[in-house]
Amino acid sequence: MKFSPLVQELIHSFKCLPGVGAKSAQRMAFHLLERNRIGGKKLAESLALAMDNIGHCQQCRTFTEADFCDICLSPKRKISEQLCIVETPADVIAIEQTGEFQGLYFILMGHLSPLDGIGPDDLGLDILESQLAKNQFKEVILATNPTVEGEATAHYIAELTKKYQVNISRIAHGVPVGGELEYVDGNTLSHALSGRKNYHF
């Protein structure tokens, strides 16, 4: 004996979420059905709208429903000579919250991972290169995660950036090795930014 088809389908659908197995999916379905149908409908609407309408900023690649994100459109930022390269949109928010950086960003939406088939093209490095060629950046800050993959990605981008005659720096290891940038507290992140050093080849 199983749940009714529609209940089963709902439970199954929740399993597309990261970290959600059979038991969690069931708990989510029952919670909404029993206690929060309005919240469930709202989630359905937001999801449908988001999946159809959210794309990537044409300049920095962050998620946005507009052609360009607010940071890329900001007149103050546009004239910045610093470009900070991060792995995810969440990292941008974390860095913005330190208040230490007023430049532009480039979001890789991941890191190099040959085993998963994630190469330079998947990280938009062609877009990055066209921006390095076009803009007059004085400094490129490599702010990928301090993980093995993040370091390898930083190294790859540093090599690629060399020819554009721009200063290349890596955020300092104030951030705990093996950790993920978005979970680092603001203070540590401030130190990591202000203590950044020239990239050593």
Question: What residue 59 binds from its own copies, Zn ion, none (CB within 5 to 8 A, per partner kind)?
Answer: Zn ion
Cα separation of 167 and 96, whole Å? 21
Nearest Cα to Cα of residue 144 among 167, 173, 165 = 173
Residue 55 has φ and ψ, to the nearest 5°, of -120, -150
Beta strands in the chain (DSSP E): 55-56, 63-64, 82-86, 104-107, 139-142, 167-170, 197-198
Instruction: Examine residue 133 and tell whether it contacts its own copies (CB under 8 A).
Output: no
Question: What residue 119 binds from its own copies, Zn ion, none (CB within 5 to 8 A, per partner kind)?
Answer: none
Among 7, 127, 152, 160, binds its own copies (CB under 8 A): 7
Nearest Cα to Cα of residue 140 among 113, 159, 121 = 159
Instruction: Examine residue 145 and tell whether it contacts its own copies (CB under 8 A).
Output: no
CB closer to its own copies out of 14 and 164: 14
Instruction: Examine residue 83 and tell whether it contacts its own copies (CB under 8 A).
Output: no
Cα separation of 98 and 127, whole Å? 27
Instruction: Examine residue 10 and tell whether it contacts its own copies (CB under 8 A).
Output: yes
Cβ 74 to Zn ion shortest distance, Å:
9
In the complex, the residues that contact its own copies under the rule CB under 8 A are: 1-7, 9-10, 12-14, 16-19, 23-24, 26-34, 36-37, 39-54, 63-66, 69-71, 88-90, 92-93, 96, 109-110, 182-183
